[in-house]
């Protein structure tokens, strides 16, 4: 896969378009934003699970990403490989790094956010010290702009929406993440004398800016762990290019 991969239409993609690594026991894909991991009501026939089954019958997703979170995912080719990776995730042996673009200028150096997360019966999530389950994320600044910051996010635990909730809790919401208070990236907000011809300016981001950048894990029959990096998709490359040009 090339850096800055452009997905013209999710409806026409296949696993071959997303492959990062193909091992005899498993494979790694770079899931685009907008593609569900499993079936959902909005697109019951189009999801990563179905694409994986078409590519290799018997494939099993070893973990999930939110629909609008892009990046690296491990898919097992059989039950034995799935159990192998499940144990690694359960024992927190898989090291996960995400990249996020957030509003504001932040200088995080191994900043630990240790806020418990509670999932209610209706599926909503919140920080809750009384009933929440332990959740720890480590944040580091990768690049600063005048109005935004590129972060590395390492979720030590694996709670649903963990990174999004933790960033919102410290008033550092992810750009475009409306559910947790994130605002869109508008070129007019930082480019001088910017004018647009349309009735309403379109945001630079397409959804929220969270990308599962890398995974480090053990594989069967090999002593040393391996690391796999998921390249940014084209939208990420465009946003970063514009920020580096007009928001430095």
CATH code for position 211: 3.30.2350.10
Domain membership flag for residue 120: yes
CA distances (Å), 169 to each of 75, 116, 213, in order?
32, 11, 22
pLDDT band at 92 (very low <50, low <70, confident <90, very high): very high
Residue 160 within a domain: yes
Contact partners, residue 105, CB within 8 Å, separation at least 6 = 144, 145, 146, 147, 148, 149
Query: What pLDDT, on a 0 to 100 scale, did the predictor assign at position 1?
Result: 44
Lowest mean pLDDT among 35-44, 60-69, 148-157, 236-245: 35-44
Spatial CA neighbour of 3 closest among 35, 41, 27, 30? 30
CB 177: neighbour CB atoms within 10 A? 26
Query: Does residue 5 belong to any structural domain of this protein?
Result: no
- Give the active site residues: 66
Q: Any idea which of 18-32, 153-167, 195-209, 227-241 has the lowest mean pLDDT?
A: 195-209
In sequence order, what are the beta bridge partners of 72? 30
Residue 3 located in a structural domain: no
pLDDT of residue 97 exceeding 90? yes
Strand partners, 133: 117
Whole-number pLDDT of residue 12: 82
The runs of H, that is alpha helices, within the chain are 15-18, 48-55, 79-90, 162-169, 234-246
Tokens 């702009």 sit at which residue?
145
The answer to whether position 228 is within a domain reads yes
Does residue 1 belong to any structural domain of this protein?
Answer: no
pLDDT of the residue at 143: 98
User: Does residue 48 fall inside a structural domain?
Assistant: yes
| Residue 247 within a domain | no
Q: How many domains does the chain have?
A: 1
Domain extent, residue 190, equals: 10-240
Q: Greater confidence, 7 or 205?
A: 205
Of 131 and 42, the structure prediction assigns the larger pLDDT to 131
Q: How many CA atoms lie within 13 A of 45 on its CB side?
A: 2
Q: pTM of whole model > 0.95?
A: no
Instruction: Look at residue 198 and tell me whether its pLDDT is greater than 70.
Output: no
Extended strands (E) in 36-119: 60-61, 70-76, 95-103, 111-114, 117-119
The backbone torsions φ and ψ at residue 84, rounded to the nearest 5 degrees and listed phi first, read: -60, -50
């Amino acid at each position: 896969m090339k850096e800055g991969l452009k997905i013209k239409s999710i409806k026409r993609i296949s696993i071959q378009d997303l492959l990062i690594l193909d091992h005899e026991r498993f494979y790694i894909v770079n899931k685009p934003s907008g593609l569900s991991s499993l079936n959902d009501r909005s697109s019951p026939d189009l999801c990563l699970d179905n694409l994986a089954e078409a590519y290799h019958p018997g494939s099993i997703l070893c973990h999930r990403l939110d629909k609008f979170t892009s990046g690296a995912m491990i898919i097992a080719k059989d039950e034995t490989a799935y159990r192998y990776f499940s144990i690694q995730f359960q024992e927190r042996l898989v090291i996960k790094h995400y990249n996020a673009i957030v509003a504001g200028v932040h200088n995080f150096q191994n900043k630990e956010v240790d806020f418990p997360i509670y999932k209610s019966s209706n599926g909503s999530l919140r920080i809750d010290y009384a009933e929440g389950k332990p959740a720890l994320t480590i944040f580091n600044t990768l690049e600063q702009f005048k109005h935004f910051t590129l972060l590395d996010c390492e979720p030590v635990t694996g709670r649903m929406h963990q990174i999004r909730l933790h960033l919102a809790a410290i008033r550092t919401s992810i750009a475009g993440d409306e559910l947790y208070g994130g605002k869109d990236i508008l070129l007019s907000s930082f480019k001088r004398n910017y004018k647009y011809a349309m009735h309403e300016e379109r945001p630079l981001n397409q959804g929220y800016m969270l990308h599962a950048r890398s995974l480090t894990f053990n594989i069967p029959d090999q002593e040393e762990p391996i690391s796999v990096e998921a390249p940014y998709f084209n939208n990420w490359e465009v946003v970063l290019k514009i920020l580096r040009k007009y928001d430095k």
